[in-house]
Structure 1
């Protein structure tokens, strides 16, 4: 006699709401943005990003306090120069947090789990780049906003000009965030070990800036100021500063910038190329990891 039995184990079709691609991408973006500041992780993961954010705010707060007391408004830090002046803090932030966003899934081999769901390869990359860029933008835009608001409270003259400078500086912050975030993620994505990733990211930023500064100094010793300006294209911070100076009307913060609006257009094209190339490299890197 047959002893087979059919058991009803309660499988049912899903009849709830299907949120779609936009919801998945938004969830990935928020998850990575929270990770950039250590949110949802142990307390030790929050120390570095929030400490660096506080350090970024100190010069802005100090500058506002000085002009409030002395009324010497020329001492207010220039909005567009903030990123260049504090580039080492930004480099440390990128070095510590880019590996968190780019390499954790690679290190623990969980990329195939993401791609087992309806997550597009490009969506995965754009969510990470968007989160990294947003984190860097917040780090820059907050102290710049403190400078602007503090200046208004202190009643700086020509507040209309200050508004134009502030808005132009925010555009510069966006360019800084995209370029620096793209470079940091690419480097971190090829160094799954976090320690190596931190060292590699900060080395690229600092060594490129130092090397270019040496070449610019040598060029200026030979009174070749035009060459000195064009050499700035090879350092990320100087590159974006050229865009700010030549296209946004900012005062230069780097050693030298090349002359003419055409220099700004070249620098902007190079910034766009860096971001596009970074997306392509990250796409290939995560796609390959998703197949392993």
Structure 2
């Protein structure tokens, strides 16, 4: 007696075809930007990933809050009128370690993790290009770093209005300081991203970023202080090219007619002359553009490997 064998059957295990609209390349870029921005503040990460960035946010805001409280309680000089304790264009210099430590912790998270775990081919298997990836990551980190520095400036601005500082002058000072901060964060973000992209190990990347940013700033401040003490003030201005922070300080005071502050020696460096100021501005732009080009080259090479 022959046994009749049953034929095989295909079962529906739950997969569904997607027939709706497909989002394009711009939406992928937005998703990478959003993920980078949120990740820079620990959103979507564990508790340990949230603690340090928000601690640094508090470190940037707390001194500004103290200044606002102290200013509001100070007696007004009848001759000079209400005065700010620290000008807006000097505040970032006092908390400059905050963005350096922030980028040291977050740039490797944004730029070296995908290289370390070899998942970049998954990004580039779709419409996203290496340039799109770099742009989205860089903009996300730049936005986060800029927000950390501009937020206390806004707090100081509101505190200045609270003690009846001139509205137009204070508003213009805020705008000038904010534009300068955007230039500073563009420089240090590009430098940090470039270092992180060539150091896949997160710890080494963080140490290298902090060493470069802090080391260059310390050297620049030391050299500028020596130039000022020796009486060669314009040379001390030119020596600002050795650090992104000194470049930022020189450029903002060249463009907005202030006085650069030397943090190491508590000396006011003179406002740059026209040749020095233009040189500092061009060097700042060159750092951003050069770092952008090197980052694109690095990720195109990774994508091709």
Whether these two folds match at TM > 0.5 is yes
Structure-1-length-normalised TM-score: 0.92
Task: Give the alignment of 1:47-196 within 5 angstroms.
Answer: 47-72=51-76, 73-156=82-165, 158-196=166-204
What is the aligned length?
289
Aligned match of 1:269: 282
By percentage of residues, which structure has more helix? 1
Unaligned runs of 5+ in 2: 1-5, 77-81
C-alpha deviation, 1:13, in angstroms: 6.5
In the superposition, relative to structure 1, how do residues 71 and 152 fare at CA in structure 2: closer, same or farther (>3 Å)? farther
C-alpha deviation, 1:167, in angstroms: 0.9
Would you say 1:283 and 2:296 are equivalent positions? Answer: yes
Question: For residues 77 and 16 of structure 1, what CA distance do their matches in structure 2 show?
Answer: 56
Contact kept, 8 Å, 2:217 with 2:245, in 1: the verdict is: yes
Contact kept, 8 Å, 1:176 with 1:237, in 2: the verdict is: yes
Structure-2-length-normalised TM-score: 0.88
Would you say 1:216 and 2:215 are equivalent positions? Answer: no
Find 1:229's aligned residue among 210, 234, 237.
Answer: 237
Aligned match of 1:204: 212
Unaligned runs of 5+ in 1: none
Q: Where in structure 1 do 4 or more consecutive aligned residues deviate above 6 Å?
A: 3-6, 8-13
Question: For residues 172 and 277 of structure 1, what CA distance do their matches in structure 2 show?
Answer: 19
Larger Rg: 2
Question: For residues 220 and 283 of structure 2, what CA distance do their matches in structure 1 show?
Answer: 16
C-alpha deviation, 1:220, in angstroms: 3.0
Task: Give the alignment of 1:25-40 within 5 angstroms.
Answer: 25-40=29-44
Contact kept, 8 Å, 2:104 with 2:210, in 1: the verdict is: yes
C-alpha deviation, 1:209, in angstroms: 1.3
Contact kept, 8 Å, 1:103 with 1:193, in 2: the verdict is: yes
C-alpha deviation, 1:11, in angstroms: 8.4
Q: Secondary structure at the match of 2:286?
A: helix
Would you say 1:253 and 2:261 are equivalent positions? Answer: yes
Would you say 1:44 and 2:52 are equivalent positions? Answer: no
Q: Secondary structure at the match of 1:74?
A: coil
RMSD of the TM alignment (CA)?
Answer: 2.1
Residues 231-279 of structure 1, C-alpha deviation per residue, up to 9 Å, x if partnerless? 0111110101111000123332235356323333222221211111111
Question: For residues 215 and 251 of structure 1, what CA distance do their matches in structure 2 show?
Answer: 17
C-alpha deviation, 1:176, in angstroms: 1.4
